[in-house]
Amino acid sequence: MANQWQGVLREWADVLDVTDASTVVTLGEGGTPLIESRALSSMTDARVLVKFEGLNPTGSFKDRGMTVAVSRAIERGAKAIACASTGNTSAAAAAYAAAAGIQAIVLVPEGRISMGKLAQSVVHGARIVQIRGNFDDCLDISKELAEQYPVHLVNSVNDDRIEGQKTAALEIIDVLGDAPDMHIMPVGNAGNITSYWRGFSQAETAGTATRRPRMIGFQAAGAAPIVRGEIVRDPDTVATAIRIGNPASWQQALAARDESGGYIGAIDDAGILRAQRLLASSTGVFVEPASAISVAGLLERHAAGEIPAGSTVTLTVTGHGLKDAAWGLRLEDGSDATPESADADTAQVAQMLGLA
């Protein structure tokens, strides 16, 4: 195993404080590729690179934080972990709990998570409760469970998760040799933008980067409390992973924006789905709708004249498209994509393809 990537706790041991190596719970998360997108670069006159976090073990960046949170929980003797989730946190919690041999309890808003994500929690053996309420209700209940019963909370308010997630920013610096000029990412509960800002800031202080990027965040238009400056009571968007009306790390997101001279904006659902298709068809990277907002955001900033020519722009695409593959089969006009049929006849197929 010497040459295999060892997961973020071991690979980034110098910046994460690992107290006891014997309790590390890992599935080899992190070390995801930073992919240069020629198509997006030429559309924006910039150098655009995509950090594909869908390639983590459970298909989202949540694994980076979960390895730290679950390892700590084990260190403290926990027999169960609990979280509220829009889907990806529960998938990660379920997988890492399974790896650790403890119980995961996940609370999800009823009818509001993708089937792919729910399937992950089920197959990993989590106890799943669909709450008739929104994400915030799930969060309140999981906090109360942790206060009143012997379970360890692994929600995004858990600082171990913020710590683990900062390693993605460090990997970007590692590959580029310095921080990018600008970093663009989705914002839901705002834990991840908090993590990246912490990672970029610590790298500058440590001298592994000479600068920090402008931090650019995007929320879905139907779930944009930070942009609107007020809690959204009934957030609504196809981007379920960022359907959050009252972000847990709201203040930290504002700090990342303001300290970096950044920006937080909103994109409507049609723009999100167009960007999902564009990234998949132009760059070969299939992401879930919440992740595609980074691409939509890049185009929005370019249209606003806010991307200086020649600058280096990194985008985090947070989760894999296969989580909710149904979006891939829906065409822009709302109809379903049905492949054409042909007889088992080469000449007919060639003609249909315009080859003959």
192 binds ligand PLP (CB under 6 A): yes
The Cα–Cα gap between 294 and 36 comes to 15
Region binding ligand PLP by CB under 6 A among candidate stretches 102-110, 181-189, 306-314, 330-338: 181-189
Select the residue whose beta carbon is closest to ligand PLP and give its number.
319
Looking at the Cβ atoms of 7 and 217, the one nearer to ligand PLP is 217
Give the contacts of 313 (CB within 8 A, at least 6 positions apart): 44, 46, 47, 48, 49, 180, 181, 182, 183, 184, 298, 307
189 binds ligand PLP (CB under 6 A): yes
Cβ at position 331, least distance to ligand PLP in Å: 23
Cβ at position 324, least distance to ligand PLP in Å: 10
Cβ at position 190, least distance to ligand PLP in Å: 5
Looking at the Cβ atoms of 47 and 126, the one nearer to ligand PLP is 126
Site for ligand PLP in 139-158 (CB under 6 A): 156
Binding track over 229-258 against ligand PLP, x by CB under 6 A: ------------xx----------------
186 binds ligand PLP (CB under 6 A): yes
Other CB atoms within a 10 A radius of the CB of residue 352 amount to 14
225 binds ligand PLP (CB under 6 A): no
Rounded to the nearest 10 degrees, the angle between the axes of helix 289-303 and helix 269-283 is 90
Tokens 């390895």 appear where?
67
285 binds ligand PLP (CB under 6 A): no
167 binds ligand PLP (CB under 6 A): no
Binding track over 310-329 against ligand PLP, x by CB under 6 A: --------xx----------
Distances from the Cα of 231 to the Cαs of 17, 116, 137, 211, 226, in angstroms?
A: 35, 29, 14, 33, 8
Cβ at position 345, least distance to ligand PLP in Å: 43
Tokens 């970093």 appear where?
183
Cβ at position 8, least distance to ligand PLP in Å: 16
Cβ at position 247, least distance to ligand PLP in Å: 7
117 binds ligand PLP (CB under 6 A): no
Cβ at position 13, least distance to ligand PLP in Å: 23
120 binds ligand PLP (CB under 6 A): no
266 binds ligand PLP (CB under 6 A): no
Number of residues that bind ligand PLP (CB under 6 A): 18
Site for ligand PLP in 69-108 (CB under 6 A): 88
Region binding ligand PLP by CB under 6 A among candidate stretches 33-41, 72-80, 186-194, 263-271: 186-194
Looking at the Cβ atoms of 47 and 89, the one nearer to ligand PLP is 89
Half-sphere exposure of 329 (CA within 13 A, CB side): 7
Cβ at position 156, least distance to ligand PLP in Å: 6
Region binding ligand PLP by CB under 6 A among candidate stretches 9-17, 44-52, 132-140, 182-190: 182-190
- Given the rule CB under 6 A, which residues bind ligand PLP? 60, 62, 88, 156, 186-192, 241-242, 288, 290-291, 318-319
